[in-house]
A and B are shown apart, each in its own frame.
Chain A
């Protein structure tokens, strides 16, 4: 579903990614782990278009999307829940969710009705969001914002979902809840690429994982193999 080949990207003169390649097969969860500064988030941003790759390709369902504007890539079926969640603070929970489905809904009237079923599904998955439909997203707790970000990505009915550091800044209990949700989505067949700082937790949900080091993939394999791999630990703590 998502094939990344030899991706090079960076900010200004600094090249962060120097040839990253990975693949996310349909219906699977792939984890992207590695130390800070290894380039995980940059990889996500290069896939979703927030950063323009200087070399390499990104194929979304067979279609090349590298170099396109992020809004275009989103409309082609990629949903990215970014690092730091980035919910629309001044807007309500429900508005945030509606905007998640922007590409599929009418712009002026009738959008609420058409989104009804998708909204119900998200509220079913995240009852706490349902309780806080009208609340300003900026006033939600960190965990609730993460739920909202995932819900927003779901509303897009995407072909692939990118989750960037969903556990960041969250208490362990909430992190567990988030990952339980990710498990559920996996069971429902959602294709996901997951970046996580907490390697162990990411490996519990992933079907396959890539370990990044200094801008490229150093090790890859199914979680069982990686857990036994000394190099994985080395990638984090030197």
Chain B
């Protein structure tokens, strides 16, 4: 543990110490200016990384927030005569509010729409800054003098230290945040918005939070930017800057504070890189060699598609060749960024830090921090005594139509507390629809759903999850980027009181809860037999393990009712038995279960009662044995029951249907 602490924290401490010492050792105002810019961009990119790295979206608005923050601070100083602290706070506030406002339409949007919304926001911002001349000075620009900090005017060194100090604060705060439930929720959002809602985390609030956070940091960076350059013009904050920022985040490495720092260095140093021809050629040459090596290795081992191997080689090749042929690299700035970003996106999607951390962890063999001992199971999943016979879930005449298709056509069903209630039926019978309606993925067209006598929320996975319904999915919806234990931690109900509040987490006050959450999650992992895989990324687990994990995650919700949607789908024989054991164990803790399955042995082995659907209607209900012999059920599964030799096949079937 000390090794880890030493290496990682030590490295950070060392870096900041070195950076702080620079003005004392070196008397170069130009270098100092660059490093100040580095700190400012560092803050900016850490903010951008939240939406780009954690949420996984293409965010084209960060340049706009830099500009908005800068202008707000600038105007507060010039027009209102405010000092540094107040102007900075104003910049942060304005950007957070605008970020929140932008988040509202952008929230429901994914992928391309999100990119578009942020793109237009940037364009709008620049236009507004240009046109509101009376306020901003328009294209002529806005000049300001660096305001005093609490009465004291800052020299170059002192301003530099201020920026570095702020970077350090942001660094620590963000590390706290991203290591907490917030960070998990952001990543969960990226991997499966559906499961994020179904596990009670809430996509909405986390998207707004991520975006507001990113823009707040943009505002802070903007204020510092204004105090640094003391002259602003709208043209500085255009599309090109936004692409450069993306380059910084992607090249440096997503989801990484160090990555943001490395990226910020690149962005700050880029103009220098371009004007110094030899430096450029050395770096582009290095890049070319690296892509060549990686590309050939990938081709030979057949680990990556040919395009992914060859394209970066071509792109870096063009960089090298272009560097030799072209008269002035400054003019080709945009093309150079484009080629660099292209090579990185295609060839090194994890960025420099992603690559480095894998390399370094192999080199130094840094062990993961030890996990706490698992909590006693009773703390996590108390065995609730069951008043058997009481209805827990009641569905009355439930209907769901999709256009003309009557997927659910008046199903009434009661699930008694403490039972495992099976739900079967041929393809298209409506069982998945029923489960999707009950869990809130779809709102019912008509009918009632009651949990313990109270109406269930309709059409909202999140609110239904809050009401005590947990579920698994036919097509796994794990948080693939998170580890097994993180998947379970994300879903833990009632584990995060302090961690709900972002300010408390930023200050580092959520850590005790984190440890306890880890212990709880570990207990659940051991419950399903995955304790030894706690740190394995979910995407690297075997298929069977993934299925078990989804159950552990759902059970973390301490649900009143657990819906399992084909939990045995695609499982091998031994895994299927294990899955059945797990389900039985969950049942013994007093959890009521609704189980959809095709595999009849699973149903017979586990269920107390089975409901059979066909064509959206209920056709039979009873014990598994009764249901198997029910003529309507046989008919639904096998086709028309014809008279004649066929009757011999049906064992002990009733003579008439």
Contact = CB atoms under 8 A, between A and B. Distances in A.
A10 interface: yes
Nearest to A169: B428
A84 to B, nearest CB: 9
A228 B600 contact: no
Contacts of A196: 639
A36 B598 contact: yes
Contacts, number: 80
A226 to B, nearest CB: 10
A10 B542 CA distance: 14
Contacts of A114: none
Contacts of A165: 427
Nearest to A37: B598
A232 B649 CA distance: 9
B204 interface: no
Interface string A13-40: 1111000000000000000000111000
A45 to B, nearest CB: 15
A198 B427 CA distance: 11
Contacts of A230: 649, 651
A14 B570 contact: yes
A110 interface: no
Contact of B649 (A10, A14, A227): A227
B569 A214 contact: no
A168 interface: yes
Identify the interface centre among A11, A12, A167, A237: most chain B CB within 10 Å of its CB: A237
B468 interface: no
A14 B639 contact: no
B634 interface: yes
B646 interface: yes
B638 interface: yes
Interface of B: 426-428, 542-543, 546, 566, 569-573, 598-601, 603-604, 628, 633-634, 637-642, 645-646, 648-651
A101 interface: no
Contacts of B646: 200, 227
B428 A238 contact: no
Contact of B638 (A168, A199, A214): A199
A34 to B, nearest CB: 11
Given A12-B543, A37-B599, A230-B649, 5 more contacts: A37-B598, A199-B639, A200-B639, A201-B640, A233-B650
Interface in A95-137: none
Nearest to B639: A198
Contacts of B426: 36, 197
A183 to B, nearest CB: 16
Contacts of B603: 238
A233 B641 CA distance: 13
B569 A14 contact: yes
B543 A35 contact: no
22 contacts: A11-B570, A13-B543, A14-B570, A14-B571, A15-B543, A15-B570, A16-B570, A35-B599, A37-B570, A197-B426, A197-B427, A200-B638, A200-B639, A214-B573, A227-B646, A227-B649, A228-B648, A229-B649, A236-B637, A237-B633, A237-B637, A238-B603
Given A168-B428, A198-B640, A232-B649, A237 B598 contact: no
A14 B550 CA distance: 15
Given A37-B598, A214-B573, A14 B543 contact: yes
Contacts of A35: 598-600, 637
A238 B638 contact: no
B631 to A, nearest CB: 12
A131 B557 CA distance: 57
Identify the interface centre among A37, A196, A199: most chain B CB within 10 Å of its CB: A37
B637 A238 contact: no
A187 B638 CA distance: 25
A109 B607 CA distance: 62
A172 interface: yes
Given A37-B598, A233-B650, A198 B638 contact: yes
Identify the interface centre among A10, A168, A236: most chain B CB within 10 Å of its CB: A236
A132 B16 CA distance: 76
A16 B646 CA distance: 30
Contacts of A167: 639
A181 B581 CA distance: 47
B640 A172 contact: yes
Contacts of A37: 566, 569-570, 598-599
Given A172-B640, A197-B427, A13 B546 contact: yes
Nearest to A176: B640
A236 B638 contact: yes
Contacts of B569: 14, 37
Contact of A200 (B570, B601, B628, B640): B640
B570 A201 contact: no
B583 to A, nearest CB: 17
B640 A237 contact: no
Identify the interface centre among A10, A14, A16, A227: most chain B CB within 10 Å of its CB: A14
Nearest to A226: B649
Interface string A186-213: 0000000000111111100000000000
A238 B628 contact: yes
Contacts of B566: 37
Contacts of A198: 638-640
B463 to A, nearest CB: 30
Contact of B645 (A10, A201, A227, A238): A227
Contacts of A201: 639-640
Contacts of B598: 35-37
Shortest 9 CB-CB distances between A and B: which pairs? Answer: A238-B600, A198-B639, A14-B570, A13-B543, A37-B598, A200-B639, A36-B598, A201-B639, A14-B543
Nearest to A14: B570
B600 A200 contact: no
B639 A237 contact: no
A237 B628 contact: yes
A197 B639 CA distance: 8
A187 to B, nearest CB: 22
Contact of A238 (B604, B641, B642): B604
Contacts of B543: 12-15
A213 B409 CA distance: 31
Nearest to B428: A169
A160 to B, nearest CB: 24
Nearest to A18: B572
Contacts of B642: 200
Contacts of A10: 570
A12 B426 CA distance: 24
A15 B546 CA distance: 13
Interface in A213-238: 214, 227-230, 232-233, 236-238
A155 to B, nearest CB: 27
Nearest to A16: B570
Identify the interface centre among B634, B639, B640: most chain A CB within 10 Å of its CB: B639
Nearest to B568: A37
Nearest to A234: B600
Nearest to B426: A197
Contact of A228 (B604, B638, B640, B645): B645
A233 B599 contact: no
A238 B427 contact: no
A231 to B, nearest CB: 10
A61 to B, nearest CB: 30
Contacts of A202: 639
Contacts of A236: 600, 637-638
Contact of A168 (B427, B572, B604): B427
A237 B570 contact: no
Contacts of B634: 237
Nearest to A203: B639
A12 B543 CA distance: 9
A16 to B, nearest CB: 6
A10 to B, nearest CB: 7
A74 B647 CA distance: 41
A237 B633 CA distance: 9
